[in-house]
Amino acid sequence: MMLDWNEYQKELLTTIGKLAQISPETVTGYQTLHTAGKKTNLLGAKVRELIALAVAVTTHCDGCITVHTSNAIKAGATKEEIAEALGVAVAMNAGAALVYSARVMDAYAAKTQSETVGAR
């Protein structure tokens, strides 16, 4: 395994607990955001956790990966459903790279056009 995810999760939650002692408002604010979707429950726990895993991949958050993998399993997500959600994350990252590639080409065009105009 790449990482002992169970041990990492324990250590992470312990460290966050220590942070909560020092800055309780920070952790309380996070918890408020985290539980907001549970109030309406329109998507359901499993779908929220699958989304969380896809976002965890796109934001490169190992802590999010370990916590939301546990939560997704508890919510009944299968390995195949998790893989499909991760496929969306891969596509979104590729899509973002494509969009930002277009922005680079646009910046290049703007910079070379202004250089050409300025050179006259």
Asked if residue 83 has pLDDT above 60, the reply is yes
Average pLDDT over residues 55-81: 97
Q: Note the pTM of the prediction, 2 decimals.
A: 0.82
Burial 21-39 (b: 16+ CB within 10 A, else e): eeeeeeeeeeeeeeeebee
pLDDT by residue (tens digit) across 31-63?
999 888 888 889 999 999 999 999 999 999 999
pLDDT by residue (tens digit) across 87-101?
999 999 999 999 999
| pLDDT averaged over every residue in the chain | 93
- Please give the Cα distance from 18 to 3 (Å, whole number): 23
**Residues 77/46, Cβ–Cβ less than 8 Å:** yes
Average pLDDT over residues 12-36: 95
* pLDDT value at residue 1: 82
Q: CATH homologous superfamily of domain 5-118?
A: AhpD-like (1.20.1290.10)
